[in-house]
A and B are shown apart, each in its own frame.
Chain A
Amino acid sequence: MNILTPLVVLLPLFGAAVALTQAKHPRVQMLIAVSALSAVMVVGIVLLVAVDANGAIAVELGGWQAPFGIVLVVDRLAALLLVVSAAVLLAVLVFSVGQGLADGDRETPVSIYYPTYLILATGVFNAFVAGDLFNLYVSFEILLVASFVLITVGGTELRIRAGVVYIVVSIVSSVIFLATIAMIYGATGTVNIAQLSVRLGELPPDIQLILHVMLLVAFGIKAAVFPLSFWLPDSYPTAPAPVTAVFAGLLTKVGVYAIMRTEMIIFPGGKLNTVLLIVAALTMIVGILGAVAQSDLKRLLSFTLVSHIGYMLFGIGLGTAAGLAAATYYIVHHITVQTTLFLATGLVERQGGTTGINRLGGMLKSSPLIGVLFFIPMLSLAGIPPFSGFLGKLALFEAGAQVGSVLAWVLIGVGALVALLTLYALARAWSMTFWRQTEEIAGYESPLPAHQTMGVSTEVKKARSTPRIMMGATAAMVMLTVALTVFAAPLFELSARAGANITGPGYYISTVFPGGTE
C-alpha cells in the first residue's frame, strides 16, 4: 500500500511530462491523459478499500522520518475524495476530448491542454494526501498555475479580463497562506500537520487565534466563502465549458477540504465554530440571491456553487462527528452534481448557441436528452427527494438538530430556504430553456438584466451537432449522481467513518506517529 500512495501524485505528473513531449500527436496525448487518470482512479479505489479495512496510511517519502521529511497521509476522507475527483476529472476529460474532436481544438488547443489538465489533477490529488502544510502550499500552487493556464486558454480579451481577476485573487490568497506558514514555523518549528496539532496548542491563545484566522482566510478565498467569494462568479463563466466544470467541481472543494483539516486537526477544539456557522449562513444566502438575479446559465450556476459551499461549512462548523459525516457526503455529492450541471450547460451552449436563458427556448423538442441530463442533477442540487442532495441536506439538518443550539436551528432554516431558492432559480432557467416555445423568445421582456455585448457567450451561433462522446460523458456523470442516491447507505456509512476519524486530531496523529509525537 505504501508504494501505491505516491503514485496518485506521480502518475499524472509523469503523464503531463510525457504528454508535453508528444505535442504533435493529439491522439497519443489523449491516450496518456485518459490512462493516467484511469490509473489514479484504480489506485484510489484500492487505497480506499485498504484504508477502510486496515486504517489510515502514512508514507514517509525518501525514507526521511516523519517530522523532518515529507509525509503523505491517506485516511478515509482523503481516499474517498481521491476516488471521486479522479472519476470526475476522467469524465470531464472525455467530454473535452469529444468537444476537441468536433471543433478542431479551437476551444481546447491540445498541445497544452492535456498536459495542463494532468498537472491540475496532480495538484488536486497532492492536496488531498499532503501531510505537511508546506506540501499543501505547493500542491495549491501546482493546481493554481495549471488553472491560470486553463482559464485563459485561447487568450481572448474576455478570458484575459476574467483570468486576471482570478489570478490576482489566487495570488493574494497564496501569499497569505505562505506568510501564515512562515509564522507557524517561526512559532512552532515544524510544518508537519500531525506535530502542529500538538505544538500549536501550547502557544498563547491570542497567537493561536491570529494563525488560525489567517489560515482560514487563505483557505476561505480558495473555497469561495462569502466575504471572499466575489471573484468566483466573475471569472468562472468565461472559461470553456469543460474547464469551468472541473473548476466548479474540484477547486473550491480542495479549499473546503483544507478548512476541514484546519478546523479538525491543526486547530482542534472548534474555537471559531460560531464564526464559521455565521459565515456559512451568509455564504448560502448571498450566493443564492446572486443566482436568482442572473440570466446566464453559467453565471447562475457559479452563484449556486458559492451558495452551496455554505452547506459544507455548516457541517464543519457544527464540529460533531455527525456534522463532519454529513459534510463529507455533501462534498462528494456537490463535486459530482455541480460538475454535471456545468457539463449539461456546455451541451446547452452547443445546441442552443448561447447560455443566456432569455434567448433560449424550445430545446425540449429539439434535444430532449439534454433536457433530461440537466433536469436530474438540477433536482439533486435543489434537494428534491430521493436524490443525493436531499440526503446530504437531511443529514446536515439532523446533525444540526442534534447540536440543538439556536444558531444551529437558524442554519437549518436558512439551509431549507436556500434549497427552495435554488430550486426556484434553476427551475425557472430550465423551464425557459427547455419548455418555452421557440416563438415566445422574440419580444420577450425579461425582468432580468439583458446581456452586454461584452457579456458571456451572448451571440447565438448556429446549432452544431453534439458529438456522442460529449453526451456520453455527461450521461455518465448523471449516472454517477444517481449512483450516489442508489448506493447512499454504504456511501453514507463510509462518510460517517471518515467523519469519525477526523473529529479529533488523535487518529491522524497516531497514523503519522505510531509511537507518539516526540
Chain B
Amino acid sequence: MSASLTLVAAMAVMYAVGVFMLLERSMTRVLLGFLLVSNATNLLILIVSGRAGVAPFFGQEGLQADPLPQAFVLTSIVITFGISAFLMALIYRSWRLASVDVVYDDSEDIEVGRRRSSMTAEREVIGDETEFGIRAAAAVSDALDLAELERLEDQASIAEQLKTEELTIARSLADHAAAEHGAAEQKDPEQDDIEQVADR
C-alpha cells in the first residue's frame, strides 16, 4: 500500500495543532482544536484506505477505490458537524451567562486542595527548585487565591443584597404607614424614622 506523503504530513500537523488547542481553557479554541483533530482523523481514514484518485465501483480491473472508508468519512463529518454546532451553542450560552468562554477550575477540588495545603503549611516548598515544583505550587496557590477572591466577592454581593432587602422592607413599611395616615395630612414622626432608615 502506498500513501501520499503530503496527506500524512497534513494529518500530522493538524493533529499536533488540534491537540494543542484542545488543551486550551478558552472554549472557542477547544472548538477549533476539535475541528482540526476530527478532520485529521478523516484524513487518516483516507490515507489508510489505499490508493487515491481511482473511482469506486467503476474502474479498470483491480484498480477500484474502496468505497467503505468514504462512507466512514462521510458519517464522521456529519457527526463532527453536529457536535460543533452544539459546542457553538454552548459557547454562546456561556458567553451570555458570564461574558467569558473560559472553563474555570472545579471549586470542590480547590477546597480539597486548600485543606491539604493548610494541613501541611509547616512544610516549606521553597526548597523545591525544579521548574515543575515551583510552577505547580504557583498554579495551586493561584487557584486558591482565585477561590478566595470569589468567596470575598460572594460575601460582598450577599451583604449588598441584604442591604437592598432591608431597604425594600423599610420602603414598604413607609408606604404602609403613608396609606394609613394618608388622609390625615399631618407628618408622622414614626414615618420620619422609617425614612431615615431608608435613607441610610
Binding site for B on A (CB under 8 A): 134, 138, 141, 145, 148-149, 152, 155-157, 160-161, 163-165, 167-168, 171-172, 175, 178-179, 181-183, 185-187, 189, 191, 234, 293, 296, 299, 449-456
Contact = CB atoms under 8 A, between A and B. Distances in A.
Given A172-B22, A179-B44, A293 B27 contact: no
24 contacts: A149-B86, A155-B93, A155-B97, A157-B97, A157-B98, A160-B90, A163-B90, A164-B90, A167-B86, A171-B83, A172-B22, A175-B37, A178-B38, A178-B41, A182-B44, A185-B69, A191-B68, A234-B106, A449-B112, A449-B115, A452-B147, A452-B150, A454-B104, A455-B107
Contacts of A449: 108, 111-112, 114-115
A46 to B, nearest CB: 31
A167 B107 CA distance: 19
A210 to B, nearest CB: 13
A152 B90 contact: yes
Interface stretch (B53-61, B71-79, B126-134, B173-181): B71-79
B62 interface: no
Contact of A145 (B86, B112, B154): B86
B79 A141 contact: yes
Contacts of A182: 41, 44-45, 48, 69, 72
Given A160-B93, A164-B27, A454 B72 contact: no
B83 A138 contact: no
A155 B91 CA distance: 11
B94 A160 contact: yes
Contacts of B34: 168, 171
Q: Describe B's contact surface by its main secondary structure.
A: helix
B26 to A, nearest CB: 11
Nearest to B96: A155
Contacts of B86: 145, 148-149, 167
A314 B152 CA distance: 47
A160 B89 CA distance: 11
A183 B112 contact: no
A185 B108 contact: no
Contacts of B87: 167
B64 interface: no
A171 B97 CA distance: 24
B41 A452 contact: no
B154 A453 contact: yes
B178 to A, nearest CB: 32
B150 to A, nearest CB: 7
Contact of A186 (B37, B49, B106, B114): B49
A185 to B, nearest CB: 6
B189 interface: no
Contacts of A299: 108
Contacts of B115: 449
A148 to B, nearest CB: 6
Contacts of B90: 152, 160, 163-164, 167
A161 B22 contact: no
Contacts of A149: 86
Most buried by A among B22, B27, B87, B108: B108
A196 B150 CA distance: 54
A69 to B, nearest CB: 11
Contact of A452 (B30, B38, B97, B151): B151
Contact of A450 (B27, B47, B106, B111): B111
B48 A168 contact: no
A138 B77 CA distance: 12
B103 interface: yes
Which are the 9 A-B pairs with shortest beta-carbon distances? A186-B48, A452-B107, A454-B107, A449-B111, A182-B45, A182-B44, A453-B154, A157-B97, A155-B93
A79 B47 CA distance: 37
Most chain-B Cβ atoms within 10 A of its Cβ — which of A182, A183, A456? Answer: A182
Interface of B: 1, 22, 27, 30, 34, 37-38, 41, 44-45, 47-49, 66, 68-69, 72, 75-76, 79, 82-83, 86-87, 90, 93-94, 97-98, 103-104, 106-112, 114-115, 147, 150-151, 154
Contacts of A175: 37-38, 41
A185 B48 contact: yes
Nearest to A172: B22
Contacts of B103: 161, 164-165
Given A164-B90, A185-B49, A454-B150, A178 B22 contact: no
A187 B108 CA distance: 45
A42 B25 CA distance: 46
Given A182-B48, A454-B107, 18 more contacts: A138-B75, A145-B82, A161-B103, A161-B104, A163-B90, A167-B87, A168-B22, A171-B83, A175-B37, A185-B45, A185-B72, A186-B49, A191-B68, A452-B108, A453-B154, A454-B104, A455-B107, A456-B108
Contacts of B94: 157, 160, 164
Contacts of A293: 112
A158 B133 CA distance: 31
Nearest to B71: A134
A509 B72 CA distance: 24
A171 B45 CA distance: 17
A161 B108 CA distance: 13
A182 B94 CA distance: 34
Contact of A160 (B45, B97, B114): B97
Taking each of B34, B41, B151, which has the highest tally of chain A beta carbons within 10 Å of its own beta carbon?
B41
B41 A179 contact: yes
Contacts of B114: 449
Given A175-B37, A183-B44, A449-B111, A168 B30 contact: yes
B76 A178 contact: yes
Most B CB within 10 A of own CB, among A178, A186, A293: A178
Chain B CB within 10 Å, residue with most, of A185, A234, A293:
A185
A145 B150 CA distance: 33
Nearest to A164: B103
A333 B27 CA distance: 38
Contacts of B104: 161, 454
Contacts of B72: 134, 181-182, 185
Contacts of A181: 45, 72
A178 B75 CA distance: 11
A449 B147 CA distance: 14
Given A161-B103, A171-B83, A453-B150, A185 B41 contact: no
